[in-house]
Structures are given as C-alpha cells and as structure tokens.
Amino acid sequence: MKKLLYTSSAMFFLTLSYGGSIDEGKILFENKCTACHTTTRPATLEAMNSLIAPPMQGVMRHVNMAFGYDKKAAIAFIKDYTLNPSKEKALCMPQKIDRFGLMPSQKGVVSPEELDKISNYLAAAY
Ligand code: HEC
C-alpha cells in the first residue's frame, strides 16, 4: 500500500512537471511565433489572404508526415529550422516559400532554452 502511494505520488509529480513545461512552451510559442504563424487555418478567405506565414497546424502536419510522426525528429527539425532556415531544408510546399518568402532566422529572438520548450510543446500539441 505504501509503495503504491509512493508510486502514484511520483507519477503525479511527473505529470505536473511535464505539464508545466508544456504550458511554458505554449506561452513562449504565443509570444515568439504567433506574430507570424496563426495556430489554425483561418476560416475566411479574407483572413487566408492576409496570412504572413503558414498556420502552425499545416506546418506541423508536414513536419510530422516527413518524419513518420517521430516526435524526437520533429523537435530536432523545428529547433534547427527556426535558427537556420533554408530553402533546401524546408519541408513545406515550395509555393509557400514563393508566397511568404523564407522564414527569417529567429536567432537572438528566441533562446535555445526557449526554443527547446516551444518545440516540445509543438510536438506534443500537434
Ligand atoms: C517574421 C515571421 C516569422 C516568425 C516570427 C516565425 N516564423 Fe516560422 N515561418 C515563417 C514563414 C514565412 C515560413 C514559411 C517559409 C519557410 O518555410 O521558410 C515559416 C515556416 C516555419 C516552419 C516550417 C519550415 C518548413 O518549411 O518546413 C517552422 C517549423 C517554423 N516556421 C517554426 C517557427 C517557430 C517555432 C517560430 C517561433 C520561435 C517561428 N517559426 C516564428 C515566418 C515566421
């Protein structure tokens, strides 16, 4: 009984701390990325036309498909791309780059620690 209690409180603690960093990642994502990326595809044509970057839902669909839903690979890709974007690395459709231009590197805007939290959040959320 005592052992069970220890195990469940340890699990509760783990869930809490994991949940905490995901929440932090969500807030950081909202602060650092949503100036350009919306989370979902806008509902109206007008809103679609005023986008300045692809919605994260679509970005993550491409990233997940490219890596066969390997979350670790997705996280590594997001971390690298955000700091060192290039046409060669891009997984999204080439039309997206024609339309929006290449993403500017976020070096100096987002710290490696923040990016770690953001990419973990994105991999967990999509
Ligand atoms: C100044 C606007 C801007 C900001 C800020 C921005 N992005 Fe982007 N991002 C873009 C544009 C434009 C594209 C599409 C072109 C491309 O893929 O380079 C893009 C594409 C991406 C892609 C897909 C790359 C691909 O083609 O496979 C990822 C992943 C991404 N952004 C992550 C992020 C993250 C994470 C942040 C926040 C830390 C962020 N972006 C902030 C403009 C931005």
pLDDT in tens, 22-38: 899 999 999 999 999 99
DSSP 22: H
State in Å: Cα 94 to ligand 1 middle. Answer: 14
Burial 22-41 (b: 16+ CB within 10 A, else e): beebbebbeebbeeebbeee
| CA 8 to mean position of chain CA atoms | 30
First to last CA, the chain: 38
- Residue whose CA lies nearest to ligand 1 atom number 9: 103
CATH superfamily assigned to domain 2-125 = Cytochrome c-like domain (1.10.760.10)
Q: Is 53 in the pocket of ligand 1 (CB under 6 A)?
A: yes
C-alpha dihedral over 7, 71, 56, 119, to 10 degrees? 70
Residue 93, pLDDT score: 84
Domain boundaries along the sequence of the chain: 2-125
Confidence of residue 6 (pLDDT cuts 50, 70, 90): low
* CA 99, 25, 77, 67 torsion-angle sign: negative
Location of structure tokens 């340890």: 10
Residue 16, pLDDT score: 52
User: Is the predicted pLDDT of residue 15 greater than 90, yes or no?
Assistant: no
- The pTM assigned to this predicted structure is 0.88
CA distance 88 to 74: 16
What is the number of other CB atoms lying within 10 angstroms of the CB of residue 116? 17
